[in-house]
Amino acid sequence: MATLGQHFSPELIGFVLTLALSLLIGFEREEIRPNNPAAFFGGVRTFPLIGLCGFLFVIGFPSNPIPFATGLLVLGALLVVSHSASLGTEDVGITTEVAAVLTYALGAAIAFKLYWISIATAIVAVLILHEKQRLEELVRRMPRDELGTLLRFLLLSGVILPAVPNQTFTAFQINPFKIWLVVVAVSGISYLSYLFRLRWGSGAGLIFAGLLGGAYSSTATTVALARQSKKFTGRPVRFAGAILAATGVMYIRLWILLELFASHLAQPLTTLFWSLGISAIAIGWLLTRIRPSRRAGPEPTENRPRPTSNPLELTAALAFAFMFLAVMVVTRLVSKHFGNAGVLALAGIMGLTDVDPFILGLTQSAGHGVLIATAVLAIVIASASNNIMKGLYALSFGERRVGRLSLLLLTAWGVASVLIFLAVSPA
């Protein structure tokens, strides 16, 4: 819009934009004329006229709100008359009348050069109007408790999270925003996994949750899936497979992070990390596809999870955030005693919390005080340490068989990564 403003006057831009957006709404409303002509208020001609009235009343009288207010009152009176005439019809509603008021307001907003919000509002409005049947069907299919769960998650992420201070406190560099972000991540992944399994069943839903969650945090994903395994009657290898797949995504994510910030560290790890990542994803996917044996008994809901009273797993999320904070404080204390002398020992310690900050620090120090070979080995050790810690989390939060199998698989991948790197790397 800024570029257009250099070649065309704001009045011309506003006129054309108002006409285009009003026509868009008018085209959509025109579709309802054949279904209910008696209740039809206006369409492809009426709505552009309404939008242009709102635009002209503002741009023609920029310091006088009376013309715009008068036009709104006149429009309101016309809408009352139109709605009264449609009361005897089968399909009575005020959607078209509200759309007319919105079109009038769009013209005024464009006159104030609020171009972006006007375009976004018009597009969203047309989508809402056009997808009436799908939205109503979605409301009918969605249980009332699901809406409550969604609202609670929006409270956690959209209301509380922005209000938490994003700065460090105390000598341990504790950031309340990052701690609460862990709560949001665990709750979000739990809810995402729950929805995926409701839609696609336990196998496909779990693998989707593992892959998407691993792209953000394989640790939070492990906790969320392990916690949910206690309330699901499916085969425990399915949850362990999803946890392993999340770790596979972690290896690929770490390599991409290194490639972006320090490609000289990513190159020695290309074959190793991509092999570990792809193999973990593939085996994890196969594990989620395993069907229950006859001795295990059939699943009571045709491969779907039992309803849970708390899909967000807030208790597990808060417990994990507390454990995350405790481990982080211990890490600070240990690193203080180690000083700068043991990069490899520090890698094993930092892997217990989150490998990303440690790896980002290495990208800045490798070659400047820290040998590149040492930095690369430290990355491998940190990822292996993180695997073992995730296995312990799964053992602590998950169903016993899920925890044991997850610990075994994640430890195997962690140990294999160190041994393979030491075997193939030059002395």
- Ordered DSSP codes for 70-123: HHHHHHHHHHHHHHHHTTTSSS--SHHHHHHHHHHHHHHHHHTT-HHHHHHHHH
> Residue 54 pLDDT more than 60?
yes
> Residue 308 pLDDT more than 50?
no
**Are 53 and 125 members of one domain?**
yes
CA distances to 1, 63, 170 from 52, rounded to whole Å, are: 20, 18, 58
CA distance 303 to 235: 10
Q: Quick: pLDDT tens for 318-328.
A: 776 776 676 56
Pick the most confident of 15-24, 226-235, 322-331.
15-24
pTM of the model: 0.53
Residue type, 174: I
Average pLDDT rounded to a whole number, residues 129-157: 72
Q: Quick: pLDDT tens for 79-92.
A: 888 777 766 665 66
Contact 425, 268 (CB under 8 A): yes
**Are 294 and 378 members of one domain?**
yes
3-state secondary structure of 61: coil
Domain boundary among 78, 109, 139: 139
**Are 131 and 9 members of one domain?**
yes
CA distance 410 to 396: 14
Helix residue ranges, H only, 155-217 = 161-163, 176-216
Domain span holding position 322 = 142-424
**Are 113 and 244 members of one domain?**
no
Determine the pLDDT at residue 17: 94
The residue among 215, 165, 161 whose CA lies nearest residue 189 is 215
CA distances to 80, 86, 137 from 92, rounded to whole Å, are: 13, 7, 19
**Are 378 and 251 members of one domain?**
yes
> Residue 339 pLDDT more than 60?
no
**Are 305 and 419 members of one domain?**
yes
The residue among 184, 239, 238 whose CA lies nearest residue 216 is 184
**Are 111 and 165 members of one domain?**
no
> Residue 73 pLDDT more than 90?
yes
CA distances to 32, 106, 312, 340, 350 from 337, rounded to whole Å, are: 74, 63, 39, 9, 14
Residue type, 197: R
User: In the 8-state DSSP scheme, what is residue 175?
Assistant: -
Domain boundary among 113, 139, 165: 139
**Are 79 and 157 members of one domain?**
no
Q: What is the DSSP secondary-structure string of 286-329?
A: HHHTPPPPTTT---TTSS-PPP-S-TT-HHHHHHHHHHHHHHHH
**Are 203 and 122 members of one domain?**
no
Average pLDDT rounded to a whole number, residues 306-312: 50
Looking at the DSSP bridge assignments, the partners of residue 366 are 370
pLDDT grade for 154, boundaries at 50, 70 and 90: confident
Contact 21, 106 (CB under 8 A): yes
Phi, psi of 104 (to 5 degrees): -60, -40
CA distance 172 to 303: 46
> Residue 301 pLDDT more than 50?
no
Average pLDDT rounded to a whole number, residues 112-116: 91
Determine the pLDDT at residue 327: 56
Tally of domains within the chain: 2
**Are 153 and 129 members of one domain?**
no
CA distance 242 to 288: 7
3-state secondary structure of 398: coil
Domain boundary among 139, 160, 190: 139
**Are 307 and 405 members of one domain?**
yes
Contact 235, 224 (CB under 8 A): no
> Residue 302 pLDDT more than 50?
no
Average pLDDT rounded to a whole number, residues 177-203: 68
Average pLDDT rounded to a whole number, residues 354-368: 59
CA distance 255 to 249: 10
**Are 334 and 220 members of one domain?**
yes
Residue type, 282: A
- pLDDT mean across residues, the chain: 77
> Residue 144 pLDDT more than 80?
no
Burial of 80 (C-beta count, 10 Å sphere; 0-12/13-18/19+): exposed
CA distance 107 to 99: 13
